[in-house]
Amino acid sequence: MGGGLTLTTTITHLGFYSIGDFTRISKPQNPVYPKRFRVQSTSSIPDLSIITEMKVFIFLTEKIGDGLPLTGGAWDFRKATISLAPHPLASPKKVTLVRHGLSSWNLESRVQGSSDDSVLTDTGVKQAERCREALSNMHFDRCFSSPISRARSTAEILWRGREDPVIYLDSLKEAHLFFLEGMKNGQFLSQKNFMRGGISEGSQLHLEAEDAKERFPKEYNTWREDPVNFNVNGVYPIRRLWGSAADAWSQILSTTGESFLVVTHKSILRALVCTALGLGPERYALMAVCLRNISNFRYWKFRAIDVNNGGISVFNVNKKGEAMLQSLNMTAHMYGDLTYVF
């Protein structure tokens, strides 16, 4: 195929977080994007004949506009990670990321986005207290947080008793999801014994909010199954998160200190993790096409990385501003009394 890119991949592992080893990449000289990919997939697993020798063709999405930066290999497979900092750092830094506790709209299975109307529940407060205890042996120089209510309340609990104020960054806000915010996720949420360890949120909830799937079936389906391409009037919330994440990393790493606590939301946390590792949102979309006939294929896209309420992730950043993931979505503190040392 003239001007195209051919990838041959051998599937070696099935799971929610890793699949496939690219064994051969052939690339024309001076490629011009966007171009057409040709992906040929062969399986080494006997029972996985459903995708054996499958060939698909997709288009690369246009580069993100408005000058929003991307780190890593979103557009060039030769790259890995690049510096997250605007300049060399005086010393290595450790960044601890925490997702806010259970919110009212988490509990009611509503689309939250950047709405400030979703607040921390009683369980969310208890989760934040458990995070505080789990991190009690750790020293943090500063705390950064999204200014949105559910994250702000979590940060206030985690940072209680400290002299320095929490630093609120707009770059840590959750993705803005326009008209979907506040609407039901197409289901009732029944949760008994929400958490082991004695925390219970009660029984069936009866929601009055309009069902997003019924009201906006096309848009909602795109948001759930192909979030990187969900857009409203040409604005792509998930793609913009990659720019926000890059801005957040730059702001955090430019701050004096060596250990930072960051409190924010699930989608922006995913973007923070991916930008630190040099991954763009389109990689998950590409892999999902290869696995379209696998029942759980949607997990290979943007939602391939999950972060629970109160989940803790840790990055070490060297003087060059290059990040290494130390821990992802630690939740053991939610099920027992323990403290972390890392």
**Residues with catalytic function:** 100, 174
Q: Is 205 annotated as a binding residue?
A: no
Instruction: Give the whole-angstrom CA distance, residue 314 versus residue 261.
Output: 9
Instruction: Give the whole-angstrom CA distance, residue 57 versus residue 81.
Output: 27
Q: Is 206 annotated as a binding residue?
A: no
Q: Is 203 annotated as a binding residue?
A: no
Q: Is 87 annotated as a binding residue?
A: no
Instruction: Give the whole-angstrom CA distance, residue 114 versus residue 102.
Output: 15
Instruction: Give the whole-angstrom CA distance, residue 76 versus residue 151.
Output: 34
Q: Is 104 annotated as a binding residue?
A: yes
Q: Is 313 annotated as a binding residue?
A: no
Which residues, in sequence order, are bridge partners of residue 38? Answer: 6, 57
Q: Is 325 annotated as a binding residue?
A: no
- Residues 261/96, Cβ–Cβ less than 8 Å: yes
Q: Is 257 annotated as a binding residue?
A: no
Instruction: Give the whole-angstrom CA distance, residue 168 versus residue 295.
Output: 40
Instruction: Give the whole-angstrom CA distance, residue 269 versus residue 58.
Output: 27
Q: Where are the beta strands (DSSP E) in 103-185?
A: 142-145, 167-168
Q: Is 142 annotated as a binding residue?
A: no
Please enumerate, by residue number, every residue annotated as part of a binding site for substrate.
99-106, 150
Annotated binding residues, as ranges? 99-106, 150
